[in-house]
Amino acid sequence: MTANVMVIVERQFDFPRPEVFRAWTEPAEMAAWRGSPGWHVEQESVTSELQLGGRHHHVKVRDNDPSTRVTTDAVFTEWFEPDVFVARQRITGDPGIDPDQPLELRVEFTRMGREGTLVRIIQGPYDAEVAGYHSRGWELELERLQDFMTRTSA
């Protein structure tokens, strides 16, 4: 099967772009919310050089089975804070992703009104059979981001 599907997910947040961008990129903040329900990011696994050409690494762990781990290694190929970042990713441990087929993750942060931010995620290519699963995963993670932003900015 040929991986040729790009996943696109959007969500608007009532928080300024710099705050939302920081939640995505600062290791401690990212580790606090990333992962679909039933998963978490191992905080000590997160390393990130926040610049063009910088490397990023994190490990997601299944809550009820810590032996199930998904590792992301990436390089930032675009970096325009607080507007957009793009990373070329190698993901291992996810049965729906070929670790030898790099993915591209593009996350855009668009100002909406005075203090709002539209986050747009574009990631792929995926095989058609797993694209919907990963799209739903991003939707669930963005719900967790909303909860994190609400808790930390109050």
- Angstrom CA distances, 46 to 5, 51, 52, 113, stand at 28, 15, 18, 33
Tell me the per-residue pLDDT of 103-119, one tens digit each, with 9 for 90 and over.
999 999 999 999 999 99
Question: Can you give the pLDDT at residue 154?
Answer: 64
Contact 105, 87 (CB under 8 A): yes
Which CATH number covers residue 22? 3.30.530.20
> pLDDT digits over 133-147, tens only?
999 999 999 999 999
Tell me, what DSSP letter sits at residue 5?
E
Query: Where does residue 101 rank: exposed (0-12), middle (13-18), buried (19+ CB within 10 A)?
Result: middle
pLDDT tens for each residue of 42-96: 999 999 999 999 999 999 999 999 999 999 999 999 999 999 999 999 999 998 8
Contact 102, 88 (CB under 8 A): yes
Q: What is the dihedral of CA 27, 36, 98, 126, to 10 degrees?
A: -110
Reference 138, options 98, 112, 102, 106; nearest CA is 106
How much is the pLDDT for 121?
Answer: 98
Q: In the structure encoding, which two tokens stand for residue 78, read together? A: 């675009």
How many independent structural domains does the chain possess? 1
Taking phi over 0 as left and psi of -120 to 50 as alpha, with beta for the rest, 38 belongs to left
